[in-house]
Amino acid sequence: MVQYFAGTGVGERYDQYRPKAHQVLFQIMQRHMPAERFGSAVDVACGTGDSTVPLLDIAQEVIGIDSSDEMLGMARKRGLSVRKADYTELPDQGRFDLISTCMAFHWFDAAKALAAYKAASNPGAIWVIYNFAFEGHSTSEQFNHWLRNEYFKRYPSPPRNRYKDMTLAGDQALSLLAREEGWLPITFTLESLIGYLTTQSNIEEAVRKGRLLDSIAAELSEDLSHIDLTGTFKYAYSYEILQYAGR
């Protein structure tokens, strides 16, 4: 599978333009997690560290892993403890009480991920798997029409697994503690919206096939400059919180 979010400059764009919604969502998800502080936690596919930061409040030791040097460079600038590794390279001595994964599990081979997560989990470990999705403007039908009928047709999402089809909760070693969907209100300026869109794998795929990022950004600016962006956008979330029974 193609590795996205690894090219030169993507780490800085990702850090600058991706909505910082992880902390807010963790406050929601913590209602379904143990009240006591976790001993050790790992953030799988930590990226620039946005998904790692919330773990610092709930675990004594936190490490992030990612396969992109670009992303890890940004995370290290933030003072986070991270190392280069993919989801199959988790330590196998069974030392984590919490494994968290944001916006990445749908890129994984489910069977390999399950085996790696289990091998790296202490008995009773909590797994938090969550995703964000851009669902358009909360009130502007003009923008939503553009998103559905122009943007996604021009820049379709590259192939990936559907997390909803992976059915992790059906594994006998896992129990489902919580599952929820919703959305958070976020705001964008024209510049930040274009910046956000250029962090999506849709645009990454177009660049990989030969389009110039500056050309894409100019095209998006021309389209969106005619649309009123006032108000809030929907940043949808979905999550599952699972508990691993142990060996």
Q: Mind giving me the DSSP string for 142-183?
A: HHHHHIIIIIHHHSPPPP---GGGT-GGGSTTEEEEEEEEEE
- Give the strands of the sheet with 59-66, arranged side by side: 82-84, 59-66, 38-44, 96-102, 121-137, 233-244, 174-186
- How many percent of the chain have pLDDT more than 70? 92
What global pTM score does this model have?
0.91
Mean pLDDT computed over 110-126: 93
Q: What is the pLDDT of residue 247?
A: 64
Separation CA 242–CA 128 (nearest Å): 7
Superfamily of domain 10-134+160-185+234-244: Vaccinia Virus protein VP39 (3.40.50.150)
pLDDT computed for residue 3 by the predictor: 55
Taking the domains of the chain in order of start, what are their residue ranges?
10-134+160-185+234-244
The pLDDT of residue 183 is above 70: yes
Reported in sequence order, the residue ranges of the chain that DSSP labels E, i.e. its strands, are 38-44, 59-66, 82-84, 96-102, 121-137, 174-186, 233-244
Query: Is the confidence at residue 186, as pLDDT, over 60?
Result: yes
